[in-house]
Chain A
Amino acid sequence: MAEHAAAPPPGGDSPDSPDRPANGTPTIEVTDVSKHFGGIAALDRVSLTLLAGEVHALVGENGAGKSTLIKIITGVHPPDGGSLRHRGAEVSFGGPRDAQAAGISTIYQELNLVPQMSVARNLFLGREPRGRLGLIDTAGMHRAARQVLGRYGVAVDVRRPLGELGLGVQQMVAMARAVATTGRGASVVVMDEPTSSLEPREVDRLAEVIDVLRADGVAVLYVSHRLDEVFRLAQRVTVLRDGRRVHTGPVAATDRLGLVAMMLGRRVDEVRAHGRTRFGEAHTGRAGEPVLRASGLTRRHALSGVDLEVHAGEVVGLAGLLGSGRSETARAVFGVDPLDSGSISVAGATARRWSPAAAIAAGIGLVSEDRKAEGIIADLSVRDNIVLAALPRLTRAGFVSDRRCDEVVEVFVRRLRIKIADPDQPVRDLSGGNQQKVLLARMLCLHPRVLLLDEPTRGIDVGAKAEIQALVDELAATGLGVVLISSELEEVVEGASRVLVLRDGRVVDVLTGDGIGEHQIMSAIAGASDEPGPAGDG
């Protein structure tokens, strides 16, 4: 469908002079925009130009600043510094309404529709066709809704509540709404992970919709972690990392491996020496039955047939890009997200109903990647945070035994070298590294057999990182099975004795021994077997 997948690039791909297709005039110009949240820079002087009629892919790992950049363009956040120009004129949006009025529409990853309302009402909310007396013309609205959806090949009863329909259809409705909104004075459509809940057939349809938009001169900002789509749909790509722009250039001149390397902050030709982490020699684990055996883990749009085995004393690494299924695997094993199919057994025993409580009882611990939202309870004391999950075991006849709590807390504060003045001080006062240790302690005092560590060293300083890494080693040496998830490649490479590489919810490669290396992981992520460059598919 995309016959002209990329306009001929007249210039180079240096970040400072993004080339412009000859026909494209800038629709949005973001110049040196910065945004801070609580002293932390989410965006640091980022520039981005969207041209009329182009699909511009925006990629980056967690914390790269993609969401923040989108929210600045769509008026949700005001920038702290820099300027935003729309069709040549400097603008400052007071909110999403302003941006929409200017013709900038967004399809958020989380569908921003109202599931209880009908398809037609969702499509036209806020701009319903009105007849006599200013009343909504329901019949006309239904007709228009059928017509709009018909353009994109969606045939549904527009009177049905949106929530009763499949996610794919809901996504198409969101899309149609966004496009229809920009229909008058159309200029920009921002798509945030639009395909995360779509079937392949629906992705094709989306591609057709995007073609229609391009033909109309609309600029599309396409955020996705699916590289296939980036190469198939986009003409230019911008890579963000840690709030900075690291690359903007035509997709045609970018190869997959290079793109992955930029997202992860690596250089393809770079081969670094060992010894950048505090991981010792690899822990290959003990022979015999695996302590954790998960097979065929499948969850719609997240995982398809992931197998994972962990032996006692073994560190298994999970590598992959954001959304590849790393964290999803950990969450499934821990019973957070329900599975469509698959089985999990710990030390040979399979639980019938899987839930976090069942997982803990079976001997699985999870330290989540989102420390703030899913981990520590900032206002509670160190002591309370540590014993939280172990409370059922520290309770006699319904009363919590203070003495036993104190013992547990003392043991783990010492063992994990948690730096605190007093076990009763609130956790929020601790550094990120020490908070992470508190979380580790919380899981360890449950005496797990398998520990799932999701980004255990993210957002903590170098010294604390090394300590956590050394701790993981020690724990494995005592016979604990560890699943290590990290977007820092060297952690996975040096920490794990076996690495599963995931892409699109599948294990695409298993690396062991000397086969574990940054280059091998990146190749597997990039899908080196696929041909690089835009797939014109004409």
Chain B
Amino acid sequence: MTRAGSAPAEHRERAAALVRRAGAPLALAVLLVVGTAAFGDGFASARNAGNIALDSSYLVLIAVGMTFVIISGGIDLSVGSVFALAGVLTAYGAQWGSVAAVALPLVVCGLIGLANGLLVGRARMAPFIVTLAALLFARGLAFAASQEGNRVHLIPADLALTRIGQARVLGVGAPVLVALVVFAIGLVVLNRTRFGQAVYAIGGSSEGAELMGLPVARVKASVYVLSALLAAVAGILVAAQTSSGLPTIGEGRELEAIAAVVIGGTLLTGGAGTLVGTLVGVLLLKVVQNVINQIGTLDAYYQQLASGVFLLVVVLVQAGLARRRTGGGRGVPT
């Protein structure tokens, strides 16, 4: 019955932390090698890389916001719907020009994020429920704005937004560039600003952060606004790419984003995680999809199956970590 905090436990924790940090990049590297070996130029070509990058860019935008939310100890289920709503509003606003096409979705989605944030941060409601409500609300709004999907708003081809959205710089599409810029800004904000540090602190110990005098409610509210705005940017870019706004897109995007964030090593319980990990997580998901597409004979279901396995492995490792933490944790003498 002797149970003492011992060296093996520490080693195990180190190993688990290593897997958490390096596991996803390693899996990605293996996957790239295997893909190249198996499919040669069909896989390892600039064109295919461009496809993967474009495909990943929307998810990167959403997942960057999700990373902030999850590190703060929350969750945002509404981003898939907000993504679709933003697309619809972009197409709807395009009738008044490019500025309206961008401003309308940003304002509406920003307000949805603000509502989420205030309910979670100030009213202290559970993020799962609040953002589930927002998921339904935003999807409903997207359908209402397009008369239950019967009316598809089209974005005129001569609009500045269309031209910018479909532009390519050095062969790289605008969504990819936007995603890269947002990612870079996100890195700086999360790691080098007081706001970013507060996000970590709140996720690590909300009560501790409060007692340390950090503006907990304000920071919590901010991460949901950020998440909604980034989902909106992704929606705007999709609309610009496709010249239309469809209310049906983005279903399950929120779960895909959560999966990418967790595969990237961010703890679902909050307090720890990195944006670089999230980027790797997104790429991993997308490369798996791409490889399975290459095989051709395999059904698309295998994409989800493979993603599921990755997610499970990561979560198992995290659970091992968490158990080590609470098991040997300090008891509170009464």
Contacts and interface: CB of A to CB of B under 8 A. Distances in A.
Interface stretch (B46-54, B162-170, B205-213, B235-243): B205-213
Contacts of A357: none
A126 B334 contact: no
B3 to A, nearest CB: 4
For chain A, which range describes its interface: under 10, 10 to 19, 20 to 34, or 35 or more residues? Answer: 35 or more
B1 A339 contact: yes
Contact of A339 (B3, B210, B213, B271): B3
Nearest to B327: A338
A301 interface: yes
Interface in A325-368: 327-328, 331, 337-344, 350-354
A369 B334 CA distance: 9
Interface stretch (B152-160, B196-204, B223-231, B256-264): B196-204
A431 interface: no
A108 B204 contact: no
A328 B194 CA distance: 40
A125 B212 contact: yes
B193 A135 contact: yes
B88 to A, nearest CB: 36
Given A112-B212, A128-B194, A134-B193, A323 B204 contact: no
Contact of B208 (A114, A301, A340, A369): A114
A339 B191 CA distance: 40
B214 interface: yes
A391 interface: no
Contacts of A196: 333
A113 B205 contact: yes
B193 A117 contact: no
Interface in B1-43: 1-4
A197 B197 contact: no
Contacts of A100: 213
B334 A299 contact: no
A121 interface: yes
Contacts of B331: 299, 302, 331, 337-338
A114 B4 contact: no
A328 B197 contact: no
Given A125-B197, A328-B334, A115 B213 contact: no
A108 B188 CA distance: 32
For chain B, which range describes its interface: under 10, 10 to 19, 20 to 34, or 35 or more residues? Answer: 20 to 34
A126 B198 contact: yes
Contacts of B3: 338-340
Q: What's the dominant secondary structure at chain A's contact region?
A: loop
A117 B192 CA distance: 14
B13 to A, nearest CB: 9
A255 B192 CA distance: 54
A108 B211 contact: yes
A136 B193 CA distance: 5
Given A125-B214, A340-B4, A344-B1, A301 B333 contact: yes
A131 B167 CA distance: 37
Contacts of B191: 136
Contacts of B193: 134-136
A267 interface: no
Contact of A117 (B1, B201, B325): B201
A16 interface: no
A136 B200 contact: no
Interface in B243-289: 267, 271-272
A343 B1 contact: yes
A340 B1 CA distance: 9
A101 to B, nearest CB: 8
A126 B193 CA distance: 10
A96 B210 contact: yes
B273 to A, nearest CB: 9
Contacts of B209: 114, 125
A167 interface: yes
A72 B272 CA distance: 33
A351 B1 contact: yes
Given A135-B193, A136-B194, A328-B334, A113 B208 contact: yes
Nearest to A114: B204
B214 A126 contact: yes
Nearest to B192: A135
A97 B212 CA distance: 7
Nearest to B10: A164
Contacts of A337: 331
A114 B198 CA distance: 10
Contacts of B305: none
B4 A126 contact: no
A23 interface: no
B322 to A, nearest CB: 12
B334 to A, nearest CB: 5
B197 A128 contact: yes
A106 interface: yes
14 contacts: A101-B213, A106-B211, A112-B212, A114-B205, A114-B208, A114-B271, A121-B197, A121-B201, A125-B214, A126-B201, A302-B331, A302-B333, A342-B2, A354-B1
Given A76-B211, A125-B209, 4 more contacts: A116-B271, A125-B198, A340-B2, A342-B1
Q: 5 closest A-B pairs (Cβ-Cβ)?
A: A114-B204, A112-B208, A112-B211, A354-B1, A135-B192
